[in-house]
Chains A and B, each alone.
Chain A
Amino acid sequence: MKIHEYQAKALMADRGIAVPTGRVATTVDEAVAAVRPLIEDSGNPVVVVKSQIHAGGRGKGRFKEHADVGGVNVVTDGITGGIEAAEERVRDLASRMLGSTLVTIQTGPEGKQVNRLYIEQGIDIATELYLSVLLDRATSRNIVMASTEGGTEIEVVAEETPERILKEEIDPAFGLLPFQARRIAYALGLEGDALKNGVRFLDALARASVELDTDLVEINPLVVTTGGAVMALDGKMSFEANALYRHPEVQALQDITEEDAAELEAKEHDLSFIKLDGDIGCMVNGAGLAMATMDIIKTVGGEPANFLDVGGGAEKDQIAAAFKIITKDPNVKGIFVNIFGGIMRCDVIAEGVIAAVEEVGLSVPLVVRLEGTNVELGKQMLDDSGLDLVSATDMRDGAQKILELTK
């Protein structure tokens, strides 16, 4: 689960990780009201207005409605014009950013609507660095990844200058040890106060990652200020879904306007669903088989409209819910049901499909491929139901049949 930058920074601040002071705003007036206290408290006449969306690349992003406005704006009007000038500029920016659509490298061309702004104090930056904590699947341990190339995407650094990336493995029995934090700080070129602050920052960051069960914490850039402070100028946090049950305070941070409505609805029915761009809806049991079903649709020349795993023990009403979710997508021109009944019996599936079609109705072609436990009974039930559906003998056959019917 992803959260916004301002939420991540609040979680960090609570755990002793240094972040700039800021205020979240959902209206223009709130944005303007944030300016005076920020400038007066920090003594820095510069403020930054940042779009809050669940996608990276905001700084280089542009608004669809206002091509001249970026996703992140540094307001320097306060330096010469005082607080009032800064407020005026923030009013102008906020009125154009809020409610508009930001397009970044990660949002896709359709972009994302900005509903929240984060107004932050300006920082006098001396150096920009990179830090993250994430799982290293090869060693089954979390690692701290650090680089001197702050502000650049880490994937790019890994590609072009891999020698500038440092990794420290976190032993789950001990946590990040002080010597490891020092080693990272030295490698990042920190000295004096910045060294001390950097080690403290790293220790707090590693602890927060464990405490919150994060999937990823990424600080890019991590900045050293001219005064030797070490701060998270940007902060991204995502959380591991399986561990959310033990963090209700984190679960509460979910912004459902950032999530796909169909995916949320699927989750309520314990279905795993991901919307795709094609026109052939699929309903499958098992994640691997569901992926393979998408693949085979593509192999025969079609485009899958979704990934949908009904799981190993789906009941009749779950299958009905799955049907509803698939048919809600206006792009769907046909549905391919692909089931390998193991523990899940084919007659139960057939019963579910029949009940779902009777309840939801069916306006597009349906191809069903059943295999496994009680397959003959399941097929018989489908045949006897009088439903307008086509049976397939195997996956490829099913994919070809649904493709022909949707052409």
Chain B
Amino acid sequence: MSVLIGNDTRVLVQGMGKTGRFHTDKAIAYGTHMVAAVHPSRAGQTEVFEGETDQSGVPGRADTYRVELPILRTVGEAVAASGANASVVYVPPAFAADAIMEAADAGVPLIVCVTEGIPVADMVRVKRYLEGKDVRLVGPNCPGVITPEQCKIGIMPGYIHKPGRIGVVSRSGTLTYEAVHQLTLNGLGQTTAIGIGGDPVNGTNFVDALSLFNDDARTEGVLMIGEIGGTAEEDAADWITANMTKPVAGFIAGTTAPPGKRMGHAGAIISGGKGTAAAKIDALEAAGVLMAQTPTDMGAAMEQAMAAAAERR
């Protein structure tokens, strides 16, 4: 088991430009079932991918791969032609909101949006559009989702991951890599790692991811990585107190961030005294989350949280 994606995930890619092509190639090398592409101005063409298999990916494959990906006009046509059940969006910021809504309209159950820089107002509209639809959006402005050795959707390096027991959820890209790498080195491994993205308006939030991991039989603990801005971590703390049955460790970036400044991510800003790292750390600690003092200690904090939970049992 894993959450969101696994062996049976079939992925279509929206936006077959330079970025889309680069990461689609990496995903295929990893063993992800990439089944179609949507790129209106290139519809009717075929994109060919070939190369050497990524040995850290899905096991038991040949050493090389060759995939011919059909490019279609619309997501609806791509789904009909390929049976895709997930989409990854690499469309540029000005058109990304439309791409997400098109995928939702076509009934794609999982939409992962990597694009950074989508106007907030566009995302507000997207969220409204998704209301009442049975689809899940992950991102935008996120590295994506990976279930090690099964399926990789997004831009994360595959080889730092290893199948294991921990669910990872994070607002930051490279900090997720840092965490995943530590979990691989200390042997805990990952069930699934979800990058929820650094934007103020996003699809999947901490509570959604925690809930998925709580219900997943394979996931034994969760590592969550937050940062300054908003109150998503505080909401997660409330949810953990009320519902979480598995150990959680965490880290919050931005203890030293000055108020009123956006720290790279659009959502990482302390405004009106709200969204500070201290408030988030306090809330999570009160909910029993074991907080890593520095990012070097994230893997160790997870180990400690697992050990403490084992002792209580």
Which one of B68-76, B101-109, B174-182, B214-222 is at the interface? B174-182
Question: Is there a chain B Cβ closer than 8 Å to A372's Cβ?
Answer: yes
Residues of B within 8 A of A395 (CB): 178, 294-296
B173 and A288 contacting across the interface, CB-CB below 8 Å: yes
> Of B26, B257, B272, which one neighbours A294 at CB under 8 angstroms?
B257
A244 closest partner in B (C-beta) = B119
Instruction: List the A residue with the shortest CB-CB distance to B178.
Output: A340
Distance in angstroms between the alpha carbons of A141 and B130 in the assembled complex: 13
Assuming the contacts A135-B120, A243-B120, A245-B94, asked whether A288 and B157 have C-beta atoms less than 8 A apart, the reply is: no
Among the listed B155, B175, B232, B261, which residue makes an inter-chain contact with A292, where contact means beta carbons less than 8 Å apart?
A: B175
B121 touches A240 (CB 8 A): yes
Give the most central of B120, B232, B261, B262: most A CB within 10 Å: B120
Q: List the A side residues contacting B241 at CB < 8 Å.
A: none
Report chain B residues within 8 Å CB of A138.
230-231, 235
Contact B265 A287, beta carbon cutoff 8 Å = yes
A252 is an interface residue with CB less than 8 A from chain B? no
**Segment among B58-66, B186-194, B248-256, B282-290 that sits at the interface with chain A:** B248-256
Q: Does A286 contact B (CB under 8 A)?
A: yes
Q: Which residues of B contact A172 (CB under 8 A)?
A: 121, 124-125, 128
Chain A residues with CB under 8 A of B225: 288
Query: Min CB distance, B208 to chain A, in Å?
Result: 13
How far in angstroms is the closest Cβ of chain B from A218?
A: 11
B:101-140 near A, CB below 8 Å = 117-125, 127-128
Q: Is the beta-carbon distance between A307 and B263 smaller than 8 angstroms?
A: yes
A396, B94: Cβ atoms closer than 8 Å: no
By a CB distance below 8 angstroms, the chain A residues around B5 are none
B294 near A288: Cβ-Cβ < 8 Å: no
Q: How far is the CB of B136 from chain A (nearest CB, A)?
A: 15
Of the listed stretches A195-203, A295-303, A323-331, chain B binds: A295-303
Once the chains are docked, how many angstroms separate the CA of A155 from the CA of B259?
14
Q: In the bound complex, how far is the Cα of B264 from the Cα of A294, in angstroms?
A: 13
Contact of A371 with B272 in the complex, beta carbons under 8 Å:
no
- Contact pick for A304, options B117, B256, B261, CB 8 Å: B256
Do A396 and B296 contact each other (CB < 8 Å), given the known contacts A242-B266, A312-B155?
yes
Docked-complex contact A343 and B254, CB < 8 angstroms:
no
Given contacts A137-B200, A138-B231, A304-B256, contact A242 B118 (CB under 8 A): yes
Closest B residue to A141 using CB positions: B124
Name, among A141, A242, A284, A340, the residue most crowded by chain B CB atoms within 10 Å (CB to CB). Answer: A242
0/1 string, A151-168, CB within 8 A of B gives 1: 000110010000000000
A241 is contacted by which of B173, B266, B273 (Cβ under 8 Å)?
B266
Given the complex, which residues of B lie within 8 Å of A312, measured CB to CB?
Answer: 155, 173-174
Known: A291-B264, A292-B295. 20 other contacts (CB 8 A): A135-B124, A137-B229, A140-B123, A171-B128, A213-B119, A213-B120, A242-B93, A242-B119, A285-B174, A288-B176, A288-B264, A288-B265, A288-B268, A290-B263, A291-B228, A312-B155, A342-B156, A342-B173, A343-B155, A396-B296
> Can you list 30 A-B pairs, Cβ within 8 angstroms, ordered by A?
A138-B231, A138-B235, A155-B273, A158-B272, A173-B125, A240-B120, A241-B266, A242-B266, A274-B263, A286-B173, A288-B172, A288-B173, A288-B198, A288-B225, A288-B227, A289-B172, A291-B263, A292-B175, A292-B253, A295-B255, A298-B255, A299-B294, A307-B257, A312-B174, A340-B174, A342-B156, A342-B173, A373-B157, A394-B296, A395-B294
Nearest 10 Cβ contacts at the A-B interface? A288-B172, A287-B264, A286-B174, A288-B175, A243-B119, A289-B174, A291-B253, A342-B157, A272-B264, A309-B264
